[in-house]
Amino acid sequence: MNRTGIMMSPIASKEMQDVDPSMMAPPGDESALAAMRAEYIASADMVGSMPPPASVSGAVQTAVAMLKGNHPALLLDKLGERLAFERTGTRLYDALITKCEVMLDGQISMTMADLERIRAEEARHFLLVSDAIESLGGDPTTQTPCADLAGVESMGLVQVLNDPRTTISQSLHAILTAELSDKAGWETLVALAEDQGLDDLAAEFTVALEKEREHLGLVTTWFDEALGMSYGEVEIPADAAGSAAPQGGGATPAA
Ligand SMILES: [Fe+2]
């Protein structure tokens, strides 16, 4: 039985609140805590660092890019972040597939084939990012600072998906969080690649971004359906490349 709320015990909670003010300690604030944190922040190192270029050609590419006024280390750091997140994304869908093999009951429009397809796209995006890092002279096995942070950020999502007690609706909420982050991450990569004049990469990243927008639209719809909201049929193109993808929560509620 859930006994976490104060109203579970109205008499004791009233007694607790009816305290003689003269018996209470003066109210404090968080300034001492903030001051201590400020000290730590001022003297802290960074979360990791970017390694030097992995090869001679990488060193040359980095030097040329820097001469052009670009920031190759920033792009490689964000690529490392996307690599880490797409790896986790693939595992999140693996976990959802396992859960749905047991629990999916036809109450929502999501199918196992949908999940397998998105899982394959996340894995393809992982390989796309890995190739991009190599093409820029980097090492895809490097744990970059932002890759480290992406791993920490997504820890809770992995826990939710792999918890045997969570429902499909609860799992989809975690997946929705991941897809929102995914979309934002690819938008950043497209912008960075365009900014650094890497037109071929920017074009490839834009295709990946379109896929992520489609994932977000689908997951939003499935999540709403799992909550019992009817948003109508969602078109899932057989070959989604370049197709009109549904955007987050796009349709009009039926009722
Ligand atoms: Fe995705």
Q: Convert the pLDDT of each residue in 110-145 to its tens digit.
A: 999 999 999 999 999 999 999 999 999 999 999 999
Residue type at 170?
Answer: Q
Indicate whether 253 belongs to any domain.
no
Q: Structural domain tally of the chain?
A: 1
Confidence of residue 90 (pLDDT cuts 50, 70, 90): very high
Task: In whole angstroms, give the CA distance from residue 221 to residue 214.
Answer: 11
**CATH assignment at residue 167:** 1.20.1260.10
**187 pLDDT higher than 80:** yes
Indicate whether 119 belongs to any domain.
yes
Measured in Å, residue 148 CA sits from the centre of ligand 1 at 19
On whether the CB atoms of residues 169 and 226 are closer than 8 A, the answer is: yes
Task: In whole angstroms, give the CA distance from residue 248 to residue 176.
Answer: 10
Indicate whether 34 belongs to any domain.
no
Measured in Å, residue 222 CA sits from the centre of ligand 1 at 14
pLDDT tens digits, 14-46: 998 898 888 888 888 999 999 999 999 999 999
Indicate whether 165 belongs to any domain.
yes
Indicate whether 9 belongs to any domain.
no
φ, ψ at 112 (rounded to 5°): -60, -35
Domain that holds residue 80: 68-226
Indicate whether 26 belongs to any domain.
no
Indicate whether 231 belongs to any domain.
no
Measured in Å, residue 175 CA sits from the centre of ligand 1 at 9
Measured in Å, residue 193 CA sits from the centre of ligand 1 at 20
User: What's the whole-number average pLDDT of the chain?
Assistant: 88
pLDDT at 13: 92
pLDDT tens digits, 96-107: 999 999 999 988
Confidence of residue 238 (pLDDT cuts 50, 70, 90): low
Indicate whether 62 belongs to any domain.
no
Residue type at 93?
Answer: Y
Measured in Å, residue 92 CA sits from the centre of ligand 1 at 10
